[in-house]
Structure 1
Amino acid sequence: MDSEQSGHSEKNLPTQTDAELFLALKGGQTIALGVLYDRHAGLVYGLAYKTLGNPQEAEDLTQDIFLTLARGGSYDPRRGSLRTFLAILTRSRAIDRVRSRSTKLAFLSRWKLGASEETTANSPLEQAFQGERSEEVKAALAQLSESQQQILKMAYYDGFSQSEIAKQLEVPLGTVKARARRGLLKLRETLTDYVG
């Protein structure tokens, strides 16, 4: 009888409210996530795409949002609708990604600017300074692990998204994100005197 009741409740999942589905998901009914995804993935993807402007990044963020929800998230049905919660969470995470991307691009453009200045330096003093700076950059890159160097090269020189890098290297997306972040943080620490 107990299995009939659980089977019956699973059949009724598509007709349940978002709050009921969320509680079912928290109670271990993973099928509820699929119903919530079907209901709200369009909203999440649309908001992500509008902010990020990249379909692959929007897909990645959509997946991240629903994984967050599956892990329990911070949604409280008493405080508002799930749709509003997902919209706010998506917008916040998308803006974080844009800011992160902007920070990385600014860092790299300053770094590349330093490299181009190296080739146009005129005086012997400038050439000596730029040569020393180039050595600092090489030394900073050498301090990164091989995997961090590879991921940063693929991202910033080859133009691959983190999802594409994960597929090419056959590693989880989370691993790529973590290695890229650690690599950039280490580079920033090492090159603080030259960047900014």
Structure 2
Amino acid sequence: MTRSVEPESDRERVSRWVRQHGRVVRGYLLANVGREDVADDILQEVFRKAWQAREQYQEQGYEKAYLLRIADRLVVDWSRRSGLLQNVDEETWEVITPASPDVGAMAELELDEHRQHLSAALDRLTPPQKRVLMLRYFGELEFSEIARTLDCPLGTVLSHCRRGLLQLRRILVEPSP
């Protein structure tokens, strides 16, 4: 006897998206806007837009990429309205990358220093390089998903990632002043 599986309702699907992908989307937003209150507002807007467009979404297993595409577009809109993308401060990095409970005080200080250095380095990248790297490492997307999210060719995504990583390497190995 085979048991038929009831199709997931729209409400259940969006609720599952919030549970499964909300944290990653919020981390991506927070890394881009640098303020928890703004990230939370945009996160609500991401899921509102996902709810409004729920009938157009094609179930293809790209839920996270779909949500991050909405998030990315909202970040771009926000940055246009506010005039710039925000630099991520030390406190925000701590929220994005919580400390391991096994890390001692000295190691925690080193981690904070590395976060500050990485934040400053990311701010020196071109906007396309930073977007691709943020989607790749904070959004945890595959390159093909990033290409769909940004609506650009895969080769362009790979190029931005490579150039961004090379630039980060140059910046991060520079002696600190």
Larger Rg: 1
Structure number with the higher helix fraction is 1
TM over 0.5, yes or no? no
TM-score range, shorter-chain basis? Answer: 0.3 to 0.5
